[in-house]
């Protein structure tokens, strides 16, 4: 991977911490002991943290992947001359998706497709759409008028202007939008556990229901580490793009 030619120490440190905790949640045992009520289990045992982590990654990867594909497509579409009229509608829908509490979206989606992973994916997909649409629109609109005028005046076609000029210049902002969306989704995905989607939300839910603080810590720490790691990973992409034009 050319991307990590210069090994990023922080990134590997975060990955190491995440994996270590996922395999050995007992590492924070003193903390569990300090916060647990008498007679409670200290370590979540219905499933290993590692497999919950994998589930969680799949949930966010799948939903954010869809959000990214549709979000970027919609963002691109509404910045073209043909799609300009839809800009208002699309951004409005995006913002509405963002304002609805994820639990509500989850409840509505569950009403349609039943319990489990599906409604969670739908909720996460809708929830992650807006930052990506917003980022795409912002990135494409930020490309200077003079740059586009020059491109047009030199005889680039519409699609060449888009592919060779607009998209590379907007890439950084678009990816920043994707990053925001993914990080939000990593956190939001925990509520999927409420309707049986699994993931790192499971110990948190179990902890909340049974008033078991160590479980909440285990889910929370794992989600936190995953979010921080992912944020760093995508940031590196952004920096790479920026470095590309010094």
Q: Please give the residue ranges that form the binding site for other proteins (CB under 8 A).
A: 144, 146-157, 160, 164-165, 168-169, 244-246
Nearer to other proteins, 37 or 242 (CB): 242
Q: Which is nearer to other proteins, 92 or 150 (CB)?
A: 150
Instruction: State in angstroms the smallest separation of the CB of 80 from other proteins.
Output: 17
Q: From the CB of 230, what's the least distance to other proteins, in Å?
A: 26
Report the SS3 class of residue 115. coil
Closer residue to other proteins (CB): 99 or 159: 159
Nearer Cβ to other proteins (99/246): 246
Measured CA to CA in angstroms, residue 232 lies from 5, 73, 89, 125, 200 at distances of 15, 25, 33, 22, 20
Residue 158's CB: how many other CB atoms inside 10 A? 12
Question: What is the DSSP track for 166-233?
Answer: IHHHHHHHHHHHHHHHHHHHHHHGGGGGGGT--STHHHHHHHHHHT-HHHHHHHHHHHHHHHHHHHHH
CA dihedral 211, 213, 215, 221 (to 10 degrees): 140
CB burial of residue 144 (10 Å; 0-12, 13-18, 19+): exposed
Minimum CB distance to other proteins smaller for 69 or for 149: 149
73 vs 70: CA distance, rounded Å: 5
Q: Smallest distance, Å, CB 205 to other proteins?
A: 46
Q: How far is the CB of 155 from other proteins (least distance, A)?
A: 3
For other proteins, the closer CB: 124 or 140: 140
Q: Smallest gap, in angstroms, from Cβ of residue 241 to other proteins?
A: 9
Count the helices and strands in the chain (H runs, E runs): 11, 0
Neighbour tally for 76: CB within 10 Å: 20
Distance CA 195, CA 116 (A): 6
Length of the chain counted residue by residue = 246
**Residue 182: CB minimum distance to other proteins, A:** 24
Distance of closest approach, residue 156 Cβ to other proteins, in angstroms: 7
Using the minimum distance from each CB to other proteins, give the nearer residue, 81 or 245: 245
């Amino acid at each position: 991977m050319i991307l990590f030619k210069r090994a990023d120490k922080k990134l590997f440190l975060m990955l190491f911490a995440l994996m270590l905790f996922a395999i050995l949640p007992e590492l924070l045992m003193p903390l569990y002991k300090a916060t647990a009520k008498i007679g409670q289990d200290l370590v979540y045992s219905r499933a290993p943290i590692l497999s919950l982590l994998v589930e969680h990654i799949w949930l966010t990867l799948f939903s954010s992947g869809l959000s990214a594909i549709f979000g970027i497509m919609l963002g691109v579409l509404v910045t073209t001359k043909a799609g300009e009229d839809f800009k208002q509608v699309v951004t409005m829908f995006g913002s509405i998706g963002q304002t609805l509490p994820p639990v509500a979206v989850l409840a509505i989606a569950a009403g349609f497709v039943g319990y489990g992973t599906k409604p969670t994916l739908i909720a996460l997909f809708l929830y992650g759409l807006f930052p990506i649409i917003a980022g795409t629109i912002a990135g494409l609109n930020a490309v200077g008028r003079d740059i586009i005028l020059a491109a047009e005046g030199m005889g680039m076609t519409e699609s060449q202007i888009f592919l060779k000029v607009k998209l590379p210049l907007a890439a950084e902002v678009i990816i920043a939008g994707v990053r925001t969306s993914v990080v939000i989704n990593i956190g939001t995905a925990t509520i999927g556990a409420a309707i049986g989607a699994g993931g790192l939300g499971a110990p948190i839910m179990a902890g909340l229901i049974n008033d078991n603080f160590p479980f909440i810590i285990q889910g929370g720490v794992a989600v936190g580490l995953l979010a921080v790691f992912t944020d760093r990973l995508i940031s590196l992409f952004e920096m790479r793009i920026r470095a590309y034009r010094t």
